[in-house]
Amino acid sequence: MKEVSITSGMINRINPWKMLIWLLITQIMVAFIGRSLGPLGILIGEDFSLTKAQIGILPAALFLGQALASIPAGFLVDRLGSRLLLMMAAAITGISFIILTVNASYWILIVLIVLAGAGYGSMHPVSNRGIIYWFKQRQRGTAMGIKQMGITLGSALAGLLLLPLAASYGWRPVLGLAAAALVFTGCLAYINYKDPVKIKEKDPNQSIKAFYISLLKMTKNKPLVYVSVSALFLNGSQMCLNTYIVLYAYEKIGLSLFMAGILFVISEVSGSFGRIGWGIISDRLFDGKRVIILIFIAILTAGASLMIAFIPEGTSFTAIAPIVMVFGFAVSGFNGIWMNLASELVPKEQAGLSSGFSIMVGSLGVIMVPPFFGFMVDQTGSYTTGWVTISSFMGLVLFFLLLLSKKNNN
């Protein structure tokens, strides 16, 4: 594999928080486009005459691309650094979305979303590596929370800006222009972001051999596997909230499309606060411990999902908004803690690969759970079963987290 060494005095010359700003900006824009499939799903569904299950396949396709790309991206970022791959991730995501806006076939749409997901998913190991190298452990929870906040903030902006604009002018031109802005942002990030390490390449064959050896070690790292499986269910539940809250509020509760979109924004803004808030809580109140935070998150998610499941038709916006706020703060706020934990369970020179492995496993939840949720709604005509299922998934998450906690104590 490669050798890395911190360049002399570089961290003193360059403020790590300035580098974090570029990681955050790029993350916001990638999420602004990639996560737009949630709020825009209702309009895309009308355009292509889709069932609820088919709408659920849209984000599943994005995260299939993420799952396929996460390990190769982790390998590449460990060898090449974050700077070049930031631009590549933005370009792949943006160009794929530009092309899909002029497409008329549902299955070509799915293929393009998978391709976009490869760029979207690459952002995680790419940006995680930057944080692991730029920040000390006692700062990483906060820094990772800020960076991960970019995902929910970008998603919230998609609901706040893209949904009303797309409803007025059509989702295709609006999404196409936004995707072009993402490509431009990637170029700016390449110009302004700097890697804090000097990378010395060894023989490529040795690097590839070391990659497969390291990957095999990841599968045998039980704490990493427990974290990743927990993330599988949390990710799937998060994407169900993102994908179906607008449809649920519009069709079941009876809110207007605009107010249903505002609920989506509330869930994502709450998730943004959760990502940085949970990181600060972990760093300052629990001395950098991550597992206990994930346990709190799973309990809150289970409770909020149960409450959503039994909300009667005609419930007011003001009554449902606080529940959605807690739901989003928990299930959309866990990612920073997850990424920190996955990166800290291995030596930091393997942080990209461990992130990629954990993201690959965690992405399976987003691939499987939203279509399953939509299928249950199609079959039963009710959202209640879906929300209750999410609560049951949190029971499984608690089981794996308790195994992880026991393993750490031993």
Task: Please write the tens of the pLDDT for every residue from 337-385.
Answer: 888 888 777 776 676 678 778 888 888 898 889 889 988 888 888 899 9
What type of residue is 67? A
Residue 1 lies in a domain: no
Which is it for the CA torsion 220, 222, 223, 226, positive or negative? positive
What type of residue is 18? K
Among candidates 307, 298, 277, 137, which has minimal Cα distance to 231? 298
- pTM: predicted TM-score of the whole model, two decimal places: 0.74
Among candidates 132, 332, 357, which has minimal Cα distance to 245? 332
Among candidates 29, 266, 48, 318, which has minimal Cα distance to 159? 266
Residue 163 lies in a domain: yes
d(CA 336, CA 24): 13
Most confident option among 33-42, 76-85, 205-214 = 33-42
Pick the residue with more confidence: 12 or 227? 227
Q: Minimum mean pLDDT among 112-116, 185-189, 205-209, 291-295: which range?
A: 205-209
Q: What is the DSSP letter of 39?
A: T
For the chain, the distance separating the N- and C-terminal CA atoms, rounded to the nearest angstrom, is 31
Pick the residue with more confidence: 317 or 155? 317
Residue 234 lies in a domain: yes
Residue 2 lies in a domain: no
d(CA 254, CA 238): 22
Residue 314 lies in a domain: yes
Residue 174 lies in a domain: yes
| Mean pLDDT, rounded, for 376-405 | 91
d(CA 51, CA 45): 7
| Statement: residue 150 has pLDDT above 80 | yes
* pLDDT score for 198: 55
Residue 30 lies in a domain: yes
Tell me how many degrees the CA angle 394-391-274 measures, rounded to the nearest 5: 65
| Per-chain mean pLDDT for the chain | 85
pLDDT per residue over 243-302, tens digit each? 889 889 998 899 988 899 899 989 988 988 898 888 888 888 887 788 899 999 999 999
Residue 382 lies in a domain: yes
| Statement: residue 388 has pLDDT above 90 | yes
Q: Domain containing 403: what range?
A: 7-409
Q: Minimum mean pLDDT among 139-153, 195-209, 317-331: which range?
A: 195-209
Structure tokens at 103: 């497409």
* pLDDT score for 2: 43
CATH number of the domain where residue 60 is located: 1.20.1250.20
Rounded to a whole number, what is the largest CA-CA distance in the chain? Answer: 65
How many Å is the Cα radius of gyration of the chain? 20
Domain count, the chain: 1
